[in-house]
């Protein structure tokens, strides 16, 4: 059942539009200013490359003010449809005073609660918020909501050092290695795992104490997890939220014969997915035998489609 | 007046009582000194009812009630604000109970109160002695200057001289102590230790100890300490056991017994001994950390190779085993031929991914600053490459270094001076591969310029009790160069012959005379000339080089590439060994890259690689440039060298796997792709697929199919893997 839900969401996503709002906050020093703006520009470029179904707004420097953010999000509240997807990506510094999380921007800062109320007015059922700032863990509770994926660069408001997570999040959108299931798209879950692992490896390699621990929550709760697993009901929505997707939509131009093959492929993928969920319950040999048969059939079907 | 009369009487009584207790304290110490432990215990117990806190503190301390003793000292400290004795004695308690920092503070306070108070100087000397600090000797002498009859200070000087591998001076100092007190047990222990170090099992000095105090296990423990610091661990263990036979409550000896058993791999008994110490409330850093380390044994796995067992942390065993096992076997094969001997048993190599765990192995040993590895008989413990930031170490070089110790220690029956075994080990690193080993660092250049190298007869001191911060590193360098020099002038057989001389209990003076046919002074003079040829260019032009580097860096910063290149070319020959951050090779590489002169940039970075540069980023960049420039074999060479420096890098294995597969080295490619998987890659599907391709090339079809299934399990739509599965299933 879980697999069927994922496929349905993916199918819906094909017809929907995706709206991205990237905001690079205040750097506080020329180096950070340059870094944050640079990452936001790269995000902008990678997301625009998705094609015309991607609508990307990027606010940096003096345009990343509270009033501009409010303005853009309010405008989108009237433009985005329920079937569309919406993503808000925040880069920069954040602070937490024990009560409120604040995203540091030119002029007055914006709080997590304020952002949440703006996002709640956007009709898109599938929403993604990636808060890559320091202390971003403190924003999770306010931002968490049913059908919304919330990713934070830190596990709490107490992780106050400038983060590196954003750097790897941007890398995830252009590194083919991030597409771990090799379906040509990079989902929010794949990007999260990529950035989380690269961030951990960065601290490990440099032999410095890790000052950030990314979290993901997409079950509507404020209980983010570092390693989302479907058994823990975390990561399901993120897996079905494509950030980068192949532009060519084969299904649209397929012949009836190919349509059949595509349907067969989809069915085989679903069966493989179900089998994987049953792995623990099956004898290893039996699992391997069934998996081999399905994968061979899928490979043959794909070869037919590509012929 | 009544009140005044009462007080006067009280003062008299109190004064008498205090005097009484002071005399009793001295009696108690005398009982203990003579081994009447039960009576001494009762005597100290009686002190607990003393009117003054200071005496009570002494009583509690000697019956092992440390918390109460500490409390009483705290009271005495307030009661007697001008007493240096209270501070010095309290300091001694802290020192005994593992808090040298607090102890030092109290000794210094005592000196502030009375700058002539000898026991306080002695206390500071003892703090220094624990850390093998040169100031131990200075303060012991200072103590004697203030009190020439302070036997304990004289005994300490004897002890320190023997630690400095100077038995003649040690004996001389010990005899001085004996003239102060014929019952100076620790002086006798030093003299007995000299006998034991010289292989005389029976020492008349020990007989004298036992006549004075039949349960003075401390004397055997002293001998054990000297045997251990001379790397004679098995003998050390034997003497710690003898110490405990005399006095089972000798916790420091029991702890050291446990630590040294652990060092030699006897982990279960080590744990038993250390746990007993812990239960006995002896919980110093070595005991507690060793117990903690022993508790992590379950996290390690042992791999058996042909002449060795390799202990690796489970989290990195799969990655390291394919590199470490063959390298260790290669080193054993080379040393077996070179030293013309076979080891009596398998070597045990332990690699620690957590540097702190490795440090536990070296606690209490002299010259441990910056240690990467340590050898205990047939056991080698070292940092795993993951324990250090990338590029900081070359694990294979460290392993060859330590394994050399195993051979030298075995060949000499552990009777080798520190300088020689370290020198041979350093020499062996660059003999195994020219780019291995440490290069001349700026601190070594400064030491050379300031003529700080020690004569060969004194070189051991540079390892044990350094007189300036870099002296241990300088001593390693000097010893290594001495062995390079011996090999160059007299051949490798001279090294072997010296090893045999040491095995026959010859001194360095004899070993040089017998095999190099020179006196140590002649050796030092000729070595100095030779060194000048090796390093004179660098030492003479060091300032010019530094200035040139500054200018070049500034030129590069401001975009003046031609000027930077010109400057760097002018100074590059002055200090070719400098491969740390901001070296000429990388700066030139950067400048040429900015000029789009990739060929010259590659040449510079290859020079950096070949002279021993370890910057992982620069070497990875070099490999990429070489590959891009159609030089796959050079790229392979660079990546193979990186495997010795930072095998934790997935990208390097992936790239190397591809190059090896392309070349037709399927086995090598399998090894590299397995390494990628061992590092839990970001993209497991791609990695399983790569491995499947390599396995197919190696004609291991079933394994190839298993890998491709794993790739497709992670990514069912992965087309190249689908095609490979179809091919493998035909």
Domains and CATH numbers, chain B: 298-504 (1.10.390.10), 665-730 (1.25.40.10)
Residue B76 contacts residue B57 (beta carbons within 8 Å): yes
Residue B212 structure tokens? 């004075």
CB contact under 8 A, A180 and B713: no
- Please list, residue by residue across B668-699, b when 16 or more beta carbons sit within 10 angstroms of its beta carbon and e when fewer do: bbbbbbbbbbbbebbbbbbbbbbbbbbbbbbe
Interface probe with B: pick from A7, A177, A204, most Cβ of B within 10 Å? A177
Range of weakest confidence among B104-108, B146-150, B244-248, B361-365: B361-365
Side-chain-side CA neighbours of A48 within 13 Å: the count stands at: 10
pLDDT above 80: residue B532: yes
Taking the C-alpha atoms of residue A223 and residue A216, their distance in angstroms, rounded to an integer, is: 8
Q: pLDDT tens across B238-268, in order? A: 999 999 999 999 999 999 999 999 999 899 9
Which positions in chain A touch B654 (Cβ < 8 Å)? none
Nearest to A190 by CA among A223, A163, A151, A224: A151
How far apart CA B43 and CA B10 sit, in angstroms, is: 25
User: Which residues in chain B have their CB less than 8 angstroms from residue A184's CB?
Assistant: 717
Q: To the nearest whole number, what is the mean pLDDT of chain B?
A: 93
For residue B57, the tally of other CB atoms under 10 A from its CB is 28
Q: Does position A137 have pLDDT exceeding 90, yes or no? A: yes
Going by pLDDT thresholds of 50, 70 and 90, the confidence category of residue B361 is confident
Range among A206-215, B7-16, B199-208 with highest mean pLDDT value: B199-208
CB of B103 closer than 8 Å to CB of B92: yes
Residue with tokens 């591969």: B433
Beta carbons of B717 and A303 less than 8 Å apart: no
Confidence of residue A2 (pLDDT cuts 50, 70, 90): very low
How far does A173 lie from chain B, in Å, by closest CA?
14
Residue A236 pLDDT: 86
pLDDT average, residue stretch B72-91 = 96
The answer, yes or no, to whether residue B48 has pLDDT greater than 60, is yes
Are B715 and A302 in contact (CB < 8 Å)?
no
Q: Using alpha carbons only, how large is chain A's radius of gyration in Å?
A: 20
- 8 Å CB contact of A198 and B683: no
Number of other residues whose CB lies within 10 A of the CB of residue B643: 21
Every domain of chain A with CATH number 3.40.50.1460 lies at 15-244
Q: Where are the alpha helices (DSSP H) in B383-455?
A: 395-411, 418-432, 442-449
By Cβ distance, the residue of A197, A198, A295 closest to B716 is A295
Q: Please report which confidence band the pLDDT of residue A280 belongs to, taking 50, 70 and 90 as the band edges.
A: confident
What one-character-per-residue DSSP string does B53-67 give? Answer: HHHHHHHHHHTT-HH
The answer to whether the CB atoms of B725 and A302 lie below 8 A apart is no
Radius of gyration of chain B from Cα atoms?
Answer: 31
Beta strands in chain A (DSSP E): 18-24, 54-59, 85-91, 94-96, 101-103, 110-111, 126-131, 148-152, 186-187, 215-217, 242-244
For residue A251, what pLDDT is reported? 56
Mean pLDDT (whole number) for B601-618: 97
Query: What's the gap in Å between the CA of B688 and the closest CA on chain A?
Result: 12
Among A182, A195, A242, A288, pick the best mutation site for testing chain B contact (most B Cβ within 10 A).
A182
Determine whether the interchain pair A291/B709 forms a contact, defined as Cβ–Cβ distance below 8 Å.
yes
Helix, strand, or coil here: B329? Answer: helix
Nearest to B726 among A180, A198, A300 (CB): A300
Q: DSSP string covering B16-29, please? A: HHHHHHHHHHHHHH
Nearest neighbour of A298 by CB, restricted to B648, B685, B716: B716
| Residue B368 pLDDT exceeds 90 | no
Judge contact between B309 and B300, C-beta under 8 A: no
- How many Å lie between the alpha carbon of A80 and the closest alpha carbon of chain B? 32
Contacts of A296 in chain B (CB under 8 A): 725-726, 729
Other C-beta atoms lying within 10 Å of the C-beta of residue B95: 22
Q: Which of B616, B722, B728, B729 to mutate to test the interface with A (most CBs of A within 10 A)?
A: B722
Nearest to B726 among A193, A268, A303 (CB): A303
A234 with A216: CB under 8 angstroms? yes
Which pLDDT band, with edges at 50, 70 and 90, does B364 fall under? low
Q: What is the pLDDT of residues A187-223, one digit of tens each?
A: 999 999 999 999 999 998 887 889 999 999 999 998 8
Give the pLDDT mean for B562-567.
Answer: 95
Query: What is the Cα–Cα distance from A198 to A177, expressed in whole angstroms?
Result: 12
Chain B residues in contact with chain A using a Cβ-Cβ cutoff of 8 Å: 388-390, 648, 681-686, 709, 712-719, 721-723, 725-726, 729
Q: ipTM of this predicted complex? A: 0.72
Q: Which residues of B touch A207 (CB under 8 A)?
A: 388-389
- Tell if the CB–CB gap between B718 and A207 is shorter than 8 Å: no
- Closest-CA residue of B relative to A183 is B717
Whether residues A296 and B716 touch (CB distance < 8 A) is answered with no
Reported as a pLDDT band with limits 50, 70 and 90, residue A12 is very low
Q: Inspect the interface and report whether the beta carbons of A296 and B725 lie closer than 8 Å.
A: yes
Cβ B72 vs Cβ B53: under 8 Å = yes
Burial of B121 (0-12, 13-18, 19+ CB in 10 A): buried
How much is the average pLDDT of A223-246? 83
Query: Residue range A263-273: average pLDDT?
Result: 90
Chain B residue numbers touching A306 (CB-CB < 8 A): 719
Rounded CA separation B303/B350 (Å): 10
Task: Pick the residue from chain B with its C-alpha nearest to A191.
Answer: B682
Q: What is the pLDDT of residue A6?
A: 44
DSSP state of B573: T
At B300 the pLDDT is: 96
Q: Which of A183, A197, A299 sits opposite B726 (nearest CB)?
A: A299
How many Cβ atoms from other residues are within 10 Å of residue A283's Cβ? 8
Reference A148, options A123, A173, A114, A180; nearest CA is A123
Contacts of B722 in chain A (CB under 8 A): 295, 298-299, 302-303
Task: State whether A296 and B726 contact (CB < 8 Å).
Answer: yes
Q: Tell me the chain B residues in contact with residue A298 when contact means C-beta distances shorter than 8 Å.
A: 712, 716-717, 722
Instruction: Please give the average per-residue pLDDT across B592-613, as a whole number.
Output: 96
First to last CA, chain A: 32
> CA angle, corner A240, sides to A238 and A243, nearest 5?
75
Q: With 70 as the cut, is the pLDDT of residue B369 above it? A: no
Please give the average per-residue pLDDT across A156-180, as a whole number: 94
State how far the Cα of B308 lies from the Cα of B328, in Å rounded to an integer. 8
Contact B76, B53 (CB under 8 A): yes
pLDDT score of B537 more than 60: yes
> How many Cβ pairs closer than 8 A exist between chain A and B?
75
- Cβ-based contacts of A174 with chain B (< 8 Å): none
Q: Left (φ > 0), alpha (ψ -120 to 50) or beta: where does B199 sit?
A: left
Q: What is the mean pLDDT of residues A155-175?
A: 95
Q: According to the model, what pLDDT value does residue A249 have?
A: 53
The full DSSP string for A215-250 is EEE-SSSS--BSS--GGGT-SHHHHT-EEE--S--H
Q: For residue B327, is pLDDT > 50?
A: yes
Please tell me the predicted confidence (pLDDT) of residue B473.
93
Closest CB from B389, B683, B709 relative to A295: B709
* Inter-axis angle of helices B53-62 and B66-79, nearest 10: 160
Q: Count CB-CB contacts under 10 A for residue A201.
A: 16
Higher local confidence (pLDDT), B165 or A15: B165
Contact A181 B648 (CB under 8 A): no
Predicted pLDDT at B413: 92
Q: Do A292 and B714 touch (CB under 8 A)?
A: no
Among A182, A300, A302, whose Cβ lies nearest the Cβ of B685?
A: A182
> In percent, how much of chain B has pLDDT > 70?
96
pLDDT > 90? residue A290: yes
Q: Which residues of A touch B (CB under 8 A)?
A: 176-184, 193-194, 197-198, 205-207, 268-269, 272, 276, 288, 291-292, 295-296, 298-300, 302-303, 306
What pLDDT was estimated at residue B366? 55
Q: Which of A176, A272, A292 has the CB atom closest to B716's CB atom?
A: A272
- Neighboring chain B residues of A303 at a CB cutoff of 8 Å: 722-723, 726
Mean pLDDT, residues B308-337 taken together: 96
Note the pLDDT tens digit of each residue in B400-413.
Answer: 999 999 999 999 99
Q: Check CB contact under 8 Å for A182 and B648.
A: no
How close is the nearest chain B Cα to the Cα of A65, in Å? 35
The 8 Å CB, 24+ separation contacts for B267-276 are: B267/B294, B267/B297, B270/B294
pLDDT band at B306 (very low <50, low <70, confident <90, very high): confident
| pLDDT at B20 (0 to 100) | 59
Q: Residue A99: count other Cβ atoms within 10 Å of its Cβ.
A: 8
Counting residues of chain B whose pLDDT is more than 90, the rounded percentage is: 88
B133 Cα to chain A: minimum distance (Å): 29
pLDDT in tens, A29-70: 999 999 999 999 999 999 998 888 889 999 999 999 999 999
Return the residue of B nearest to A294 by Cα.
B716
For residue B683, the chain A residues in CB contact (below 8 A) are 176-180
Q: What is the reported pLDDT for B510?
A: 97
Reply yes or no on whether the pLDDT at B390 is more than 50: yes
A77, A78, A123, B216, B530 from A82: Cα distances, Å: 10, 11, 5, 87, 83
Our CA-based measurement puts residue B708 at a distance from the nearest CA of chain A, in whole angstroms, of: 10
pLDDT of residue B159: 98
Q: Which CATH number is associated with domain A15-244?
A: 3.40.50.1460
- Nearest CB neighbour to B725, from listed A184, A299, A306: A299
């Amino acid at each position: 059942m879980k697999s069927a839900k994922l496929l349905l969401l993916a199918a819906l996503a094909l017809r929907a539009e995706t709206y991205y709002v990237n905001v690079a906050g205040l750097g506080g020093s020329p180096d950070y200013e340059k870094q944050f703006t640079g990452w936001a520009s790269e995000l902008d470029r990678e997301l625009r490359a998705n094609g015309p179904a991607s609508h990307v707004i990027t606010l940096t420097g003096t345009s990343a003010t509270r009033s501009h953010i409010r303005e853009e999000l309010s405008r989108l509240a009237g433009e985005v449809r329920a079937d569309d997807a919406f993503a808000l990506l925040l880069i920069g510094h954040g602070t937490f005073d024990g009560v409120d999380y604040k995203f540091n921007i030119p002029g007055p800062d914006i709080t997590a609660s304020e952002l949440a109320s703006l996002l709640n007015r956007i009709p898109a059922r599938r929403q993604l918020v990636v808060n890559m700032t320091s202390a971003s863990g403190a924003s999770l509770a306010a931002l968490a909501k049913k059908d919304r994926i919330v990713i934070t660069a830190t596990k709490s408001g107490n992780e106050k050092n400038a983060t590196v997570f954003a750097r790897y999040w941007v890398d995830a959108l252009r590194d083919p290695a991030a597409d771990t299931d090799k379906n040509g798209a990079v989902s929010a879950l794949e990007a999260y795992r990529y950035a989380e692992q690269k961030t951990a490896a960065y601290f490990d390699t440099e032999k410095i104490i890790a000052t950030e621990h990314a979290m993901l929550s997409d079950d509507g709760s404020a209980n983010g997890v570092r390693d989302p697993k479907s058994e823990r009901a975390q990561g399901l929505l993120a897996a079905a939220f494509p950030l980068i997707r192949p532009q060519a939509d084969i299904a649209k131009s397929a012949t009836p014969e190919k349509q059949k093959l595509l349907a067969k492929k989809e069915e085989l993928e679903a069966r493989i997915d179900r089998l994987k969920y049953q792995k623990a319950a099956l004898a290893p040999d039996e699992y391997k035998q069934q998996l081999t048969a399905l994968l061979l059939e899928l490979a043959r079907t794909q070869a037919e489609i590509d012929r | 007046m009544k009140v005044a009369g009462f007080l006067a009487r009280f003062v008299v009584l109190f004064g008498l009582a205090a005097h009484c207790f002071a005399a009793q304290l001295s009696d108690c110490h005398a009982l203990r000194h003579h081994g009447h432990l039960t009576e001494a215990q009762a005597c100290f117990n009686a002190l607990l009812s003393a009117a003054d806190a200071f005496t009570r503190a002494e009583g509690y301390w000697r019956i092992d009630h440390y918390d109460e003793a500490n409390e009483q000292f705290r009271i005495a400290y307030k009661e007697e604000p001008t007493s240096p004795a209270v501070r010095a004695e309290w300091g001694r308690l802290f020192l005994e109970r593992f808090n040298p920092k607090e102890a030092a503070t109290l000794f210094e306070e005592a000196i502030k109160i009375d700058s002539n108070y000898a026991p306080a100087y002695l206390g500071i000397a003892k703090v220094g002695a624990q850390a093998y600090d040169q100031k131990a000797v200075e303060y012991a002498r200072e103590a004697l200057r203030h009190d020439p009859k302070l036997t304990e200070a004289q005994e300490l000087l004897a002890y320190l001289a023997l630690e400095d591998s100077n038995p003649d001076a040690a004996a001389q100092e010990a005899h001085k102590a004996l003239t102060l007190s014929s019952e100076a047990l620790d002086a006798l222990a030093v003299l007995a230790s000299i006998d034991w170090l010289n292989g005389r099992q029976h020492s008349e000095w020990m007989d004298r100890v036992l006549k004075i105090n039949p349960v003075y296990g401390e004397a055997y423990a002293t001998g054990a300490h000297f045997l251990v610091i001379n790397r004679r661990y098995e003998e050390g263990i034997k003497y710690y056991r003898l110490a405990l036979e005399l006095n089972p409550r000798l916790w420091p000896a029991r702890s050291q017994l446990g630590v040294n058993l652990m060092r030699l791999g006897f982990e279960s008994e080590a744990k038993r001994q250390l746990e007993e110490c812990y239960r006995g409330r002896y919980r110093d850093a070595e005991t507690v950390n060793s117990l903690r380390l022993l508790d992590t044994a379950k996290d390690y796995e042992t791999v058996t190779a042909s002449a060795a067992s390799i202990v690796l942390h489970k989290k990195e065993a799969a990655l390291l085993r394919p590199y470490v096992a063959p390298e260790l076997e290669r080193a054993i094969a080379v040393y077996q031929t070179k030293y013309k001997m076979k080891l009596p048993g398998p070597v045990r190599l332990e690699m620690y991914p957590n540097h702190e765990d490795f440090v536990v192995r070296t606690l209490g040993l002299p010259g441990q600053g910056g240690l990467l590895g340590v050898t205990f008989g047939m056991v080698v413990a070292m940092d795993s490459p993951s324990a250090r930031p990338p590029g900081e170490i070359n694990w294979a070089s460290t392993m060859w270094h330590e394994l050399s110790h195993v051979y030298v220690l075995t060949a000499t029956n552990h009777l080798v001076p520190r300088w020689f075994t370290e020198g041979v080990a350093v020499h062996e690193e660059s003999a195994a591969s020219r780019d291995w080993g440490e290069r001349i660092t700026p601190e070594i250049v400064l030491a050379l310029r300031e003529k700080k190298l020690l004569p060969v007869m004194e070189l051991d001191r540079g390892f044990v009790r350094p007189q300036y911060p870099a002296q241990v590193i300088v001593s390693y360098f000097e010893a290594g160069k001495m062995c390079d020099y011996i090999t160059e002038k007299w051949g490798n057989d001279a090294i072997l012959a010296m090893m045999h001389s040491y095995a026959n209990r010859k001194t360095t003076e004899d070993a040089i005379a017998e095999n190099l046919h020179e006196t140590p002074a002649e050796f030092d003079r000729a070595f100095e000339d030779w060194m000048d040829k090796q390093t004179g260019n660098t030492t003479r032009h060091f300032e010019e080089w530094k200035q040139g580097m500054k200018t070049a860096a500034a030129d590069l910063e401001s975009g003046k590439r031609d000027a930077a290149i010109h400057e760097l070319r002018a100074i590059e020959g002055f200090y070719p060994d400098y491969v740390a951050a901001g070296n000429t090779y990388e700066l030139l590489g950067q400048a040429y890259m900015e000029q789009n002169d990739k060929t010259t940039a590659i040449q510079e970075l290859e020079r950096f690689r070949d002279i021993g540069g370890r910057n992982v980023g620069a070497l990875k960049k070099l490999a990429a440039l070489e590959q891009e420039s159609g030089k796959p074999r050079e790229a392979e060479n660079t990546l193979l060298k990186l495997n010795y420096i930072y095998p934790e890098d997935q990208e390097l294995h992936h790239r190397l796997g591809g190059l090896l597969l392309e070349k037709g080295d399927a086995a090598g490619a399998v090894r590299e792709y397995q390494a990628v998987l061992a590092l839990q890659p970001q993209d497991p599907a791609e990695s399983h697929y790569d491995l499947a391709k390599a396995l197919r090339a190696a004609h291991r079809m079933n394994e190839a199919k298993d890998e491709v299934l794993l790739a497709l399990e992670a990514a069912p739509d992965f087309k190249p893997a689908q095609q490979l599965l179809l091919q493998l299933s035909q």
